[in-house]
């Protein structure tokens, strides 16, 4: 009995070249093939089936989402070959399945298994469920020598996770990647890591208090023109990302930074800077020098006269972070807050104004930092 074959591979695995070679071999033996392709794949012309190696021929039938195959055209056909089968409807996959049993004609389908979000296409899913034979056409990762298993989508040369499932393109839009390189390039958008809480911490832009050396804990310091520019510079970086929530401290400098860098945030006092008590709002040069030394060292037990201790700050911030559901979040806050959180995962990071620190809170590790 004839079989239904699903031969899948990542981008660049020569699937179409394989199809054309099979067609040539059949015809070299005096046999007849019937070539099918989806209508929406018009990269090389409405009916052209073309490989990256430059070989091409026209399809005998182009199909849409509601197409059916007229079985009369298959009289005398020895093999049906289907290109880009991931775009087939489930109904058409069923018809191909029935062609093998009712007409005893083998059907060989070539296509992708998953989209750039690692999810099965409709046609591929059904073929995996009903095909007699499933074969992988292998290729290597575009960035290393491991086997490619996923396809990564590019936008302006960078990996992205948003957009329509079907967006036609070749090597300028998609590249084959192994799992490790996929994770390294897709970063926090990785659908395989959605069980964790990833935080994009942003320290607010420079303030007038920063510029003048004034201690600003809970006082409302305003952004300088440089601080606004730092926040604006973050916007093209952040707007490419998808966040499940955007939060900021309820202090003006954090709110304004969030508005310039992203949009309106959810404000919360839980993300406020450490309260410096009697020293809040005073120039650093006017406070106890020994206390200033401790401020820079940030030792356990550090506190201010009538202010918060590091333990106080840590408790309120941790309570907020631990309440977040798995996902990716943008948090615009303060240097002391970010330093306190980083110390909880075994590092001591004090970042500059307008800088991003990306952290996997669930697994307690810093992923990377980004400067505007």
Q: What is the pLDDT of residues 325-337, one digit of tens each?
A: 988 899 999 999 9
- Per-residue pLDDT tens for 339-367? 999 998 888 988 999 999 999 898 898 98
Q: What is the pLDDT of residue 184?
A: 79
Which residues, other chains included, contact 92 with Cβ-Cβ below 8 Å and sequence gap of 6+? 63, 67, 68, 69, 123
Assess whether pLDDT exceeds 90 at residue 306.
yes
Closest C-alpha among 73, 51, 174 to residue 115? 174
Query: The tokens of 9 are what?
Result: 């591979």
Tell me how far apart the alpha carbons of residues 242 and 239 are, in angstroms, rounded to a whole number: 8
Instruction: Report all structural domains of the chain as residue ranges with CATH numbers, in order of start.
Output: 4-138 (3.40.50.300), 194-371 (3.40.50.1240)
User: What mean pLDDT do residues 262-288 have?
Assistant: 96
The one catalytic residue among 84, 198, 256, 273: 84
Q: Is the pLDDT of residue 228 over 70?
A: yes
pLDDT confidence of 181, banded at 50, 70, 90?
confident
Average pLDDT, the chain: 91
Angle at 366 between CA 361 and CA 371, to 5 degrees: 120
The whole-angstrom distance between residue 119's C-alpha and the CA centroid of its chain comes to 13
Between these two residues, 222 and 240, which has the higher pLDDT value? 222
The whole-angstrom separation of Cα 272 and Cα 249 is: 5
Residue 1 — pLDDT band, cuts 50, 70, 90? confident
- Tell me what pLDDT residue 207 has: 97
Task: Kindly tell me if the per-residue pLDDT of 188 is higher than 70.
Answer: no
Asked if pLDDT for residue 170 goes beyond 70, the answer is: no
Q: 277's torsion region: left (phi>0), alpha (psi -120 to 50) or beta?
A: left
| Phi and psi at residue 109, to the nearest 5° | -110, 135
Q: What is the pLDDT of residue 189?
A: 66
The DSSP 8-state label assigned to residue 337 in this structure reads H
Q: Render pLDDT for 18-64 as a digit per residue (tens, 0 to 9).
A: 999 999 999 999 999 999 999 887 776 678 888 877 888 999 999 99
Which pLDDT score is estimated for 172?
A: 58
How high is the pLDDT of residue 291?
94
Average pLDDT over residues 57-74: 93
Q: Look at residue 44 in the predicted model and tell me its pLDDT.
A: 66
Residue 290 appears among annotated catalytic residues: no
Instruction: Give pLDDT, residue 173.
Output: 79
Which pLDDT score, from 0 to 100, does residue 168 have? 59
- Give percent above pLDDT 90 in the chain: 72
Q: What's the pLDDT score for residue 208?
A: 96
User: What are the phi and psi torsion angles at 200 (to 5°)?
Assistant: -100, 95
For the ranges 40-44, 116-120, 161-165, the lowest mean pLDDT is seen at 161-165
């Amino acid at each position: 009995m004839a079989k239904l074959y699903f031969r899948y591979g990542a981008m660049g695995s020569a699937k179409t070249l394989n199809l054309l070679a099979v067609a040539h071999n059949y015809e070299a033996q005096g046999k007849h093939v019937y070539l099918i392709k989806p209508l929406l794949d018009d990269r090389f012309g409405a009916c052209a089936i073309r490989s990256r190696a430059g070989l091409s021929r026209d399809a005998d039938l182009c199909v849409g989402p509601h197409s059916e195959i007229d079985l009369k055209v298959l009289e005398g056909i020895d093999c049906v070959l289907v290109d880009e089968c991931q775009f087939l409807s489930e109904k058409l996959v069923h018809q191909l399945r029935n062609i093998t049993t009712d007409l005893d004609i083998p059907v060989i389908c070539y296509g992708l298994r998953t989209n750039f979000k690692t999810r099965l296409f409709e046609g591929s899913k059904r073929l995996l469920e009903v095909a007699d034979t499933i074969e992988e056409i292998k290729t290597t990762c575009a960035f290393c020598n491991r086997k490619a298993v996923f396809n990564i989508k590019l936008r302006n040369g960078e990996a992205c996770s948003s957009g329509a499932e079907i967006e036609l393109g070749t090597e300028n839009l998609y590249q084959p990647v192994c799992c490790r390189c996929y994770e390294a390039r897709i970063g926090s958008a990785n659908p395989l890591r959605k069980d964790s809480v990833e935080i994009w911490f942003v320290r607010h832009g420079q303030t007038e208090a920063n510029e003048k050396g004034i201690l600003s804990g809970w006082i409302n310091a305003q952004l300088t023109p440089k601080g606004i520019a730092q926040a604006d510079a973050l916007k093209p970086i952040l707007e490419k990302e998808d966040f499940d929530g955007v939060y900021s401290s309820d202090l003006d400098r954090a709110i304004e930074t969030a508005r310039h860098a992203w949009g309106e945030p959810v404000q919360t006092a839980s993300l406020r800077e450490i309260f410096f008590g009697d020293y809040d709002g005073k120039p650093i040069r006017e406070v106890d020098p020994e206390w200033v030394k401790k401020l820079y060292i940030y030792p356990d037990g550090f506190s201010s006269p009538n202010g918060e201790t590091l333990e106080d700050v840590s408790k309120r911030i941790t309570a907020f972070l631990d309440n977040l559901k798995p996902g990716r979040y943008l948090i615009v806050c303060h240097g002391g807050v970010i330093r306190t959180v980083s110390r909880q995962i075994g590092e001591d990071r004090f970042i500059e104004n307008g800088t991003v620190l990306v952290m996997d809170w669930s697994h307690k590790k810093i992923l990377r930092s980004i400067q505007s």
